Structure 1
Amino acid sequence: MPTPERTSVEAIVRAARDILESQGPARLTMQAVADRVGVRAPSLYKRVRNRDSLVRLVTEATLLDLEQQLRAVPAAPDPRETLCELLRAFRAFAHTRPAAYHLLFVNAPEESRPDPALFARVAAPVLQVAGELAGSADALEAARTITAWAHGFISMELAAAFNLGGDVDRAYEYGMAQLAAALARSA
């Protein structure tokens, strides 16, 4: 009789995501994941080739979660409001899983990178509203501007880099409104 399966790729990814969030990327090792799922490290390699592959799987799972959150945002009659809701969802996602969020923007080794088509799927709601606001000819540039602004703001926020006081939530709302208005005027 074959030996019963003691873990699965899903369990491995779930454990890796938990370790990443609770202990940080440096502690996300094959041994730590093996310990968490209750197998010896060599058994883990039957499912995941190496740490780079593990990071890719974690990043893919993160992207799928983000895609689900962004696609759950309903379209509003005014695309400026849709954009603001997408940006609120994006920020909420980053706060829920900050370490995994950072994986989405890391220049990782090729083996750690998800398929670019997955990034395109996740970006589709932002690209759509960017086209509605700025026009189809400028949709990609507008979507990149939106993403760069949001990621920069969120990265600073997660790093506690806003040191001049004030209300960071209010600043995010202000920035979203200004960005949406500027893109709508550019069409």
Structure 2
Amino acid sequence: MPTPEKTSLAEIVRVARDILEMRGLTGLTMQAVAEQVGVRSPSLYKRVEGRDGLIRLVAEATLTELTERLRAATSLEDLAGRFRAFGHECPAAFQLVATPGPGVPLARHEFGAAASEPVLRWTGSIAGEAQALEAARTFTAWGVGFVSMELNHGFNLGGDVDQAWEFGVSAILAGIGSHHPRL
């Protein structure tokens, strides 16, 4: 009779993401995950293709959650707020998918494409379909940069960072909207 499964792949990924948030990417090891799910680390290899595969699965789960949040947005301002909130709630996972760094395993393309879809839709609605990709890239680059600076304590000149966010969102949206082809 086969040995019963002690844990699911979903549980392994959930635990790995929790470890990522608590210990960072260097603390995300197969041994740490195995200890948390209550199996020996060689047992994880039945479900995951090693640490790189585990990191990729965490990145994909992160993008799946982010996509769900962004799809629920009711405006581009709401989408921006949801993006920022996600970064604050899951800072290590956010940085894993937004600024992974050299050599870090990436999610498969379709996960990033799914997360991009709501951004493309909303930016296209104000910039025009012909400019949707450029607008989405501009909007995303600004948002990732701002949130990354927040997470890394990069705003050191005083002032209200929330006001700076609101100012930035307004300025980016005005700039994107100014490129909409007028009939």
TM-score by length of 2: 0.94
Mapping 1:25-174, distance limit 5 Å: 25-74=25-74, 82-105=75-98, 106-107=100-101, 109=103, 112-174=105-167
**2: CA distance between counterparts of 1:10 and 1:182?**
41
| Paired AA for residue 41 in structure 1 | S
Flag as ranges the 4+ runs of structure 1 deviating above 6 A: none
TM-score by length of 1: 0.92
Q: Kindly, what percent of the aligned residue pairs are identical?
A: 54
| Paired AA for residue 36 in structure 2 | R
1:177 aligned partner: 170
Q: Is the 8 A contact 1:29 1:51 kept in 2?
A: yes
Q: Name the structure, 1 or 2, with higher relative contact order (CA <8 Å, separation 6+).
A: 1
Count of residues in correspondence between the two structures: 179
Greater Cα shift, 100-109 or 175-184:
100-109
| Paired AA for residue 115 in structure 1 | R
Q: Show structure 2 runs of 5+ residues with no match.
A: none
Q: How big is the alpha-carbon RMSD for the aligned residues of Structure 1 and Structure 2?
A: 1.1
How far the C-alpha of 1:107 sits from its partner, in A, is 4.0
Q: Show structure 1 runs of 5+ residues with no match.
A: 75-81
